[in-house]
Structure 1
């Protein structure tokens, strides 16, 4: 799909040159550390890497994209917009966890990554129950014309891959979209600054 011209012109894209998650390597120490302790660190690092690899493999095989999961969640409440979305391969069946903003509430939805069906019920939290920073970020989200779905499309094109998560971050008093994209075997973070994002402290 072609990205709207005005969006690519006005959106500042910063593709970080880091690969997430970085491989974990344990190094041998000459400080007299017991070998058994070094082995435990090695085992933990290997276990963490195996869990990451498993999750990424499940994501590669998922039939439903992150964009589709957002559209499914947003369709549940007319006028809702996604504030945060992430892939979760931990349950028996992999899912997307989507938070949408609608009528001064944050709605939490779980979307099956294989079937696109909604898993369980939905939960809503009034904005007034969130901390000040989250309320400020969500208030700013209402004032910008671009949506997280737009940012995901731009990030996927910029990083030549598929988005695995996305949400709001505040950097130097500006609200930005942060999208993590799987590109080949690497994860890359793309930061997008939507035009019109209010400076709020």
Structure 2
């Protein structure tokens, strides 16, 4: 850089041609300078509104699916306990480890998992007729993922049957729509979901006794 010319009061330097990158930076800064100051905040507000609208739409779709499921359940002729009994009779000595209502299929069904020794069967029981739909599937315990395998193996130590856990219907004043044995940090509980008269879902946690004849402690909450 040449030395400043203090006499003339100016500082001169040799001009270098601008690179393509520099030209792009100048053009970008010019466009930003010309843009109205509210343009960028307005875009953010539009994105936020679109996100909120999408969230509301997803919530509406989810709620409609839940309502259809509940309507199908109210029309079901078969109770949760009856579906468990049908599934357990298919294999003498088997016990229900998990059951859920599925109203999304063409014909509403109870999906029941029963266990005996080292095998787990999955059944689809028609919620209106009690008939078994399709072929049952069977898995060996060693083929299950660790969590499912531990829950099934823990069922052997519990004296209470899941079918007895429908006492949750009395606790929550409704009809049981699903239930499962859950291992909560080494503590075994029956978790039963009940639909009350108002259509609300309540989760009832039952602590099974270690010997038959003793009552279960129950606690529940809305879902």
Task: Using structure 1 for the length normalisation, give the TM-score.
Answer: 0.78
The 2-side partners of 1:190 and 1:112 are apart by 25
1:91 to partner: Cα distance: 0.5
Q: Which residue of 1 aligns with 2:175?
A: 162
Unaligned ranges ≥5, structure 1: 1-30
Which shows bigger deviation, 106-115 or 133-142?
133-142
Among candidates 85, 95, 98, match of residue 71 of structure 1: 85
Distance 1:172 1:33, change over 3 A: farther
Which is richer in helix?
A: 2
Runs (4 or more) in structure 1 with deviation over 6 Å come to none
1:104 to partner: Cα distance: 1.1
Distance 1:33 1:161, change over 3 A: same
What value does the CA root-mean-square deviation take over the aligned residues?
Answer: 1.5
Q: Which residue of 2 aligns with 1:42?
A: 56
Which shows bigger deviation, 165-174 or 93-102?
165-174
The 2-side partners of 1:160 and 1:145 are apart by 25
1:116-131 alignment, distance < 5 Å:
116-131=130-145
Q: Which one has a bigger Cα radius of gyration?
A: 2
Task: Using structure 2 for the length normalisation, give the TM-score.
Answer: 0.71
Among candidates 154, 176, 187, match of residue 174 of structure 1: 187
Instruction: Deviation per CA, 1:22-48: give whole Å up to 9, x if none.
Output: xxxxxxxxx725333332222221111
Unaligned ranges ≥5, structure 2: 1-43, 212-223
- Does residue 82 of structure 1 match 2:96? yes
Structure with more relative contact order (C-alpha pairs < 8 Å, separation 6 or more): 1
- Does residue 151 of structure 1 match 2:165? yes
- Does residue 183 of structure 1 match 2:205? no
The 1-side partners of 2:138 and 2:148 are apart by 15
**Count of residue correspondences:** 166
